[in-house]
Homo-oligomer: A and B are copies of this chain.
Amino acid sequence: MTTETLRLPLLYAPFEPAVHPEVRWLEQRAIEWVDASGICAGTAERNRIVATRSSDFWARFVPHAADRERLLTTTLWHYWGFGFDDAHCDSPPLNTRPDLFAALAGRVQRALEAPGSDSGGERYIPALCDIAERMAQAGPPEAFRRFVAGHRAWLSGVTWQIGNQAANRRPGVDEYLAMRLLTSGGDATFAMWELATGIHVPGTEMHHPATRALTEMATMVAALDNDRHSLRKELDHQQSDQNIFTALIQDRQLTLQAAVHEGNRLRDRILLRFCRLRQAVRPRAGQELNAYLDGLCHGIRGNAEWGQRVPRYLDPATGPDGEEPDIAWAEHSADNSLAPLPFPSITWWWDRHLA
């Protein structure tokens, strides 16, 4: 199957699009930081990092952030994260060496936590120390600690994925979903919502299982959308990545086209549960938690807007950088079932006690 014959269904994302009005200022400042940060080994890497449009990405997650400096600090991490991902997680030699990647991940994570850590010659470490210092100053400390924990979760997921690659293991859907929650970086990203907005959600509300389930569901919808966005490129480059479609094929012996539709239905059922549970939580939630839940919606929609335009996921041949394709959206969910999905790693999202 090739990109020419593969049909991708339209995405359903029933939230208003929004982008922070300072996105141009933000992009300019962020690129200045990228250029000064030392993370780019050369022009090709610099261009690839700029082409992630991380400013556009993050400005859609937190369109109402009041403080530009907070917005900038949290944006920088996205450039850093995409750059690190391309340089080390998805590229030889580390993408098949879980032993070496685990050691690098450990040092990188420690640099985030321990001011003054040694870079050991790794160019991504001093830049992360700079971001960590800015975040720690921005506070509150709970939000920074949550970001740190989310960052470790991300790196642990990447190690898992690299280990599968090394062992030539193909995860089935249940394992893939558990791993994808981590590799998506969703915990790190949504932990930055507080750092970016300066709004502090009380701990008892933020750590309530319902809030946790909603955060995981928003993460999963965005992550599965990114599997979709990158599918054409992976096909064209004959990459046999671990994604929701290969996992479905693994479990159910589907064709790729059938797996694409099945993946879309699975994704829509998660989105449907997200919307229902959010409605149930809203009346009892405080103002800050409701702002955070709105942020999850911005994240789902913003990620889908960004992912369908960003050169990172489009094959460069399909349209020059700078051309902004109009996006057509699905008007309805592809699957209206309210029943729990039969994957034990995520079935608890449908627990009736959450609502």
A residues with CB within 8 A of B: 98-103, 105-107, 109-110, 114-118, 136, 140-142, 144-145, 149, 152-153, 155-157, 159-160, 162-164, 166-167, 169, 171, 174-175, 178-179, 182, 203-204, 206-209, 212, 344-348, 351
Interchain residue pairs with CB less than 8 A apart (10)? A102-B159, A105-B160, A106-B178, A106-B179, A107-B175, A115-B351, A141-B203, A145-B212, A152-B153, A155-B156
B348 touches A118 (CB 8 A): no
B178 touches A107 (CB 8 A): yes
Main secondary structure of the interface of A (DSSP, over half): helix
Chain B residues within an 8 Å CB radius of A101: 163
Chain B residues within an 8 Å CB radius of A164: 99, 103
Chain B residues within an 8 Å CB radius of A145: 207, 212
Q: How many copies does the complex hold?
A: 2
A106 touches B182 (CB 8 A): yes
A174 touches B118 (CB 8 A): yes
User: Which residue of chain B is the closest to A205 with respect to CB atoms?
Assistant: B141
Chain B residues within an 8 Å CB radius of A156: 102, 105-106, 109, 152, 155-156, 159
A209 touches B136 (CB 8 A): yes
Contact of A207 among B117, B142, B166, B209 (CB under 8 A): B142
Assembled-state Cα–Cα distance A280/B46 (Å): 46
A178 touches B114 (CB 8 A): yes
Contact of A141 among B100, B140, B207 (CB under 8 A): B207
A118 touches B345 (CB 8 A): yes
Chain B residues within an 8 Å CB radius of A212: 145
With A99-B166, A100-B167, A107-B178 already in contact, the answer to whether A204 and B141 are too (CB < 8 A) is: yes
